[in-house]
Amino acid sequence: MVGAQARASSYLRRTLARAFSSSSISPFFHGIHVFQCPDSVGIVARLSECIASRGGNIHCVDVFVPEDKQIFYSRSEFAFDSTRWPRDVLESDFQKIAKHFNAERSIVRVPDLDPRYKIAVLASKQDHCLVDLLHRWQEGRLPVDINCIISNHPRTSNTHVIRFLERHGIPYHYLPTALGNKREQEMLGLVEDTDFLVLARYMQLLSGGFLQAYGKDIINIHHGLLPSFKGGNPSRQAFEAGVKLIGATSHFVTEELDAGPIIEQMVERVSHKDNLTSFVMKSENLEKQCISQAIKSYCELRVLPYENRKTVVF
């Protein structure tokens, strides 16, 4: 019921925002625009003039042009009056600029007016990333709606996770996997109505067929700074190797294991004073922070693909 109330509250907020925009009150909304096109003279001026001509106020602009490539990337944040610049006109104005500069990417988002991103979370036996994401979502720190949780491990009705999901009306789907049957066709049916997926320590490899059929972004969390300590018991591997710096890496999923473009990395020092328990705790804390930051950055349009294996993260 609480989940239904939260969704109703979100719907009411958007409805009120639209009502205000059509009334005599002139509310200002926060807009985000990301742009990627061949580099040329006058792009920033044209984007700025577009916003200013509609009475918008630019809050910040980030630009990146690689030294060895003629590619332009930008991310702008601006405030605008929706009575002077309606949402559909805003979209149309930026599309005209995109056409003029042969842009590969031009995306506009107005968080208070646009639907929240819908995600599904895939998890295995470990709870730390899943529980952290659920609590951040509950506190409003992740701008997403969670459609469902999918796991290849069962969780009984008296567990913290299941009780939480039941309170918030989030379905939990237990799909046990076996050699030669990873239940991917069933998963595709469950995640069809999502904008992207999150792997919260999901310990199954997704096939190329699944990735192609889903066709949208999938964000994963990896223990450690890639490509170190792959496989089972990574914390024990790192502990026994006597490392002095541990980390976590969030990246996009590709067919190549743990080799997708990196979104976020975090590190922490460890020492000879750490035992395996404290070592694992520090590692799990990094994983939780890293995956949540990656999701937040993605939803705020801060992450853009760069070349085949890299990202621009504003």
**Residues with active-site annotation:** 258
Buried/exposed 80-104: b ≥16 CB within 10 Å, e otherwise: bbbbebebeebeebbeebbeebebe
> 193 is written with which tokens?
């109505």
Which structure tokens are listed for 263? Answer: 């979104």
Gyration radius from the chain CA atoms: 22
Residue 291 to residue 295: CA distance in whole angstroms: 6
**DSSP-assigned letter for residue 56:** -
Alpha carbon dihedral 72, 105, 265, 288, in 10-degree steps, equals 150
Contacts of residue 142, defined as CB under 8 A and 6 or more positions apart, other chains included, come to 133, 136, 292, 295, 296, 299
Alpha carbon 96 to chain centroid, angstroms: 28
Nearest one of 68, 143, 148 to 109, comparing CA atoms: 143
